[in-house]
Amino acid sequence: MKPRRSNLSVPGHMKKMHEKASQSAADVIMLDLEDSVPVDEKATARAQVIDSLRSLDWSHKTVTVRINSLDTPFAYRDLLEVAEHAGHVIDAIVIPKVNDGGDIFFADRLLTGIELSKDVHRPIGIEASIETAEGLRNASKIMRASKRVISLVFGIADYSASIGARLVSISGHGEKEEDLYPGHRWHFAISNMVMHAKAGGALAIDAPYGNFKDMEGLRRSAVMASALGCDGKWAIHPSQIDILNEVFTPSPEEIALAAKVMEANARAQSEGKGAIAVEGRMVDQATVRLATKLWEQAKFLNLV
């Protein structure tokens, strides 16, 4: 699967932003029909997103569309029209506020019918946003509801509201957390989501960082998400892309260590040895798998 280090959210009704986004350094461009679009512009945004998908060059990008949540009057039209008219372009549909596996099952069945009708040979993936306590509790069911699920995404603001957490910033998206809680306030929630995503062979993506002028805060948030096992993070502004790509890209030191582990493992296998030693320390097969995964990512990014 292509890297999803930086996932840039772009308002669906802002045509001028679409072409700029398609030429940006973000791994993923997510054209948004949900929170960034005013209610009275939902239909206009949907039409604009479809037009941009069909008219711009997205061949070098992973491109997704976030529909409105399934408990709104807009979602079914979003899913139907985007998939019918641009299903051959997009990589995935992002479904917000997923609370149960039934939400995914519904989208899966509808997408299957559209693909059959339109003769779409590349299945459209689903990215499920975990934004409520109920959604986190049902993360395992959500992962098992469809093979289309390629990632779980943490929605920090709505999750905070669902559990009644204290509001410490204007955006509610991660900044100033240290003023309230002496540690990582969302450690359990994100780790739980990551566990279910990885158990199902999917990626885990962290929520955006709300203050796009605070680059050090963004870096701290991204480093913590990476440490917890997230594969990338949403961005709400192009200025955040470079830092996210940097944080979620294997460093030269990590790549060199991965190479040593893989070489030692290959040598041990050729000599019929079970134990592997690297720099005077024993290495097990779990570490070999980590090293191999990191090496494959580095190779995809042309770093080796």
Residues annotated within the binding site for Mg(2+) are 131, 158
Q: Which of 65, 207, 211 is nearest to 131 (CA)?
A: 207
Residues annotated in a binding site for substrate: 66, 131
For the chain, the domains span: 6-247, 252-300
Of 53-57, 60-64, 275-279, the range with the lowest mean pLDDT is 275-279
- Report, as an integer, the average pLDDT of 87-103: 97
Where does the pLDDT of residue 107 fall: very low under 50, low under 70, confident under 90, or very high at 90 and above? very high
Q: Which CATH architecture has domain 6-247?
A: Alpha-Beta Barrel (3.20)
Half-sphere exposure for 288 (CA within 13 Å, toward CB): 16
* Confidence at 168, pLDDT banded by 50, 70, 90: low
Tell me how crowded residue 117 is: count the other CB atoms within 10 A of its CB: 11
Listed in sequence order, the DSSP H helices in the chain are 15-22, 42-55, 75-86, 101-118, 133-137, 139-144, 156-163, 187-199, 215-227, 241-247, 252-270, 285-300
Query: Tokens at residue 146, please?
Result: 């469809």
Chain centroid to Cα 265, Å, comes to 31
Q: What is the pLDDT of residues 220-239, one digit of tens each?
A: 999 999 999 999 999 999 99
**Residues of the binding site:** 66, 131, 158
Q: What pTM does this model have?
A: 0.88
